[in-house]
Structure 1
Amino acid sequence: MNGQEHPRSSGLAVLIDADNANPAIVEGLLAEVAKFGVASVKRIYGDWTTPALGKWKAALLEHSIQPIQQFAYTSGKNATDSAMIIDAMDLLYSGDFAGFCIVSSDSDFTRLASRLRESGRQVYGFGEQKTPKPFVAACDRFIYTEIFSSREASEAAIKRKTAQELRQDAKLCHLFRQAIEAAADEDGWANLGPVGSQIAKQMPEFDPRNYGYTKLSELVEGMGLFSLSRREHGTPYIRDQRPVKKG
């Protein structure tokens, strides 16, 4: 290649651990992936000779997801995990992908996520709220898959937090104030978009839906700690209700 880097597309590789994901989430999952880019590759890994993965088969056909057969040579899920990791590295070296979506609640993918980010790729993790924190922290963004359940199931799993509950979340409040301070103008107002992005950089799993709110602006209003104003073209701005420190 004459020393030149392989041109990279904007496509995403979606790799799903069938042992650690529920087929009920697939529609919401792919809709979420579409917000980040085009899913150029969609693969799912598991032992398809076992009845346990039978529920996945209809979803695979409907959404054009390629099943990758991996026999369980020994008890446990290490064979499936290893196959995903090897494929991910092959795809990385192809140079054709701007990012990877790893769908699993298994901590075994922590090092893979770190390695992909070291190579300049975006890594989006998807897993249940039981996912170990090291894997969550290794991703650029991590989305909890409970939000992809049916509306009734989602409301039961993720109850909307009250203002009191939100205010008692010291980490959340601190991250908001820190992000506002970093992006604020001299009057203390900050564009809500960059504020949300700054919080996500420090807390990859941050998502208003985890607190029962559809939008970031709704979460801000629910907290009751910040002023919200809409400016030109309806752009939301946020300011800490505490007095602005001068000088």
Structure 2
Amino acid sequence: MVDGTGSAQIAVLIDADNIPRWAVEPLITESTHYGKVRIRRAYGDWSSSLRSWKTTLQELSIRPVQVFAAVKGKNAADLALTIDAMDLLHSGSVDTICIASSDSDFTRLAERIRESGLTVHGFGEETKTNPGLPAACDTFVFVETLTANTPPTRTTKPDQALVPAQAAPLPRLHGTSGATATAIPSVDTGTPQVTVAAPQAKKKGQTVLVAPHTRATTDDLRADTALISRLRDAVTTNTGPDGWAHLSAVGLAIRKHPAVVLKTYGYSRLTDLMVATDLFELQRHDPGTSGPVHARLK
């Protein structure tokens, strides 16, 4: 993997207990846009449930940091990640730290890094991340916006976030110049809808996020003038020289003070909500059905 051309020296620290394996490669790729990724570490107990990460760690040159949980229920990996982050903060070897976790316990760590003059980027799942963590970071990207591919199907446990089901392949967009592009189809009665697994029993003291039963229609979304204004402004202000805005930048913009909560409208992905408004063009510039999604006003 080739790092970006930016001047930032970056450390990526991954909480393997709070980031899905499918999101690791996209978030590493996104990190390279900020500069040179010098340090890549993932924290967890690799002797148990994280064994399936082996190939991913090897292919992406990520160093696994073994952390045994001496006491059940205590997250030793969080503490190890925090200690390493503070060591890096004072070492002077990096000027940017990326924290990949949906755990709100890292909010104070992100604030401390930022207060010391370093840049802190965050990555997490939208359904699991408390608003305080994104607010503490200079930027925060929800990993669902980094790839148009759906996470692999897996059994959903009570303490795991619900994930979208497999989406159908998207058609090719003909007549585009430059790089190959793939169009995101408009929402209609023939378009497969993204679904979520049914929520299971709530554990004591745990909040379970439940998706709304129905999605807002195109008319409903357009009637929400505040939402449409936020989306238009986010796309316009993040449009690049090629006339397209990276969807991750759009997602970041609409989640800032006050945040646009997709679940309010019955959607789990920003891509689907923007398609439903029928006000934006969305496509991937890379071949195939993977790669970052870009948007522009129709």
Normalising by structure 2, we get a TM-score of 0.56
Q: 2:114 aligns with which of 104, 112, 117?
A: 117
Q: 1:37 aligns with which of 35, 38, 61?
A: 35
Query: Unaligned 5+ residue runs, structure 2?
Result: 1-6, 152-163, 168-193, 197-214, 263-267, 281-294
Q: Report SS of the residue matched to 1:96.
A: coil
Contact residue 234 and residue 254 of structure 2 kept, 8 A = no
By how many angstroms is 1:198 displaced?
A: 9.8
RMSD: 3.8
CA distance 1:177–1:191, change in 2 (3 Å) = closer
Q: 1:22 aligns with which of 20, 23, 39?
A: 20
Tell me the equivalent position of 1:242.
none
Contact residue 104 and residue 126 of structure 1 kept, 8 A = yes
Distance 2:123 2:8 in 1: 19
Greater share of helix? 1
By how many angstroms is 1:202 displaced?
A: 7.3
| 1:121-132 aligned within 5 A | 121-129=118-126, 130-132=128-130
Q: 2:141 aligns with which of 137, 140, 143?
A: 143
Tell me the equivalent position of 1:80.
77
Tell me the equivalent position of 1:92.
89
By how many angstroms is 1:203 displaced?
A: 3.1
Tell me the equivalent position of 1:184.
none
Distance 1:120 1:223 in 2: 42
Tell which structure's C-alpha radius of gyration is larger. Answer: 1
Query: Unaligned 5+ residue runs, structure 1?
Result: 1-8, 181-189, 226-235, 239-247
Contact residue 101 and residue 122 of structure 2 kept, 8 A = yes
CA distance 1:58–1:85, change in 2 (3 Å) = same
Distance 1:89 1:178 in 2: 37
Tell me the equivalent position of 1:48.
46
Normalising by structure 1, we get a TM-score of 0.66
CA distance 1:54–1:176, change in 2 (3 Å) = closer
Q: Report SS of the residue matched to 1:68.
A: strand
Distance 1:79 1:166 in 2: 44
By how many angstroms is 1:175 displaced?
A: 3.9
Q: 1:203 aligns with which of 236, 240, 255?
A: 255
| 1:166-185 aligned within 5 A | 166-167=221-222, 172-173=227-228, 175=230
Structure 2 residue identity aligned to 1:44 = A
Distance 1:115 1:127 in 2: 19
Distance 1:39 1:94 in 2: 16
Tell me the equivalent position of 2:65.
68
Tell me the equivalent position of 2:210.
none
Contact residue 192 and residue 237 of structure 1 kept, 8 A = no
Question: Aligned residue pairs: how many?
Answer: 204
Contact residue 88 and residue 94 of structure 2 kept, 8 A = yes
Distance 1:198 1:147 in 2: 9
Q: Report SS of the residue matched to 1:31.
A: helix
State whether structure 2 residue 263 is matched by structure 1 residue 212. no
Q: Report SS of the residue matched to 2:39.
A: strand
Q: Report SS of the residue matched to 2:114.
A: helix
CA distance 1:163–1:88, change in 2 (3 Å) = same
Q: Report SS of the residue matched to 2:17.
A: helix
Q: Report SS of the residue matched to 2:46.
A: coil
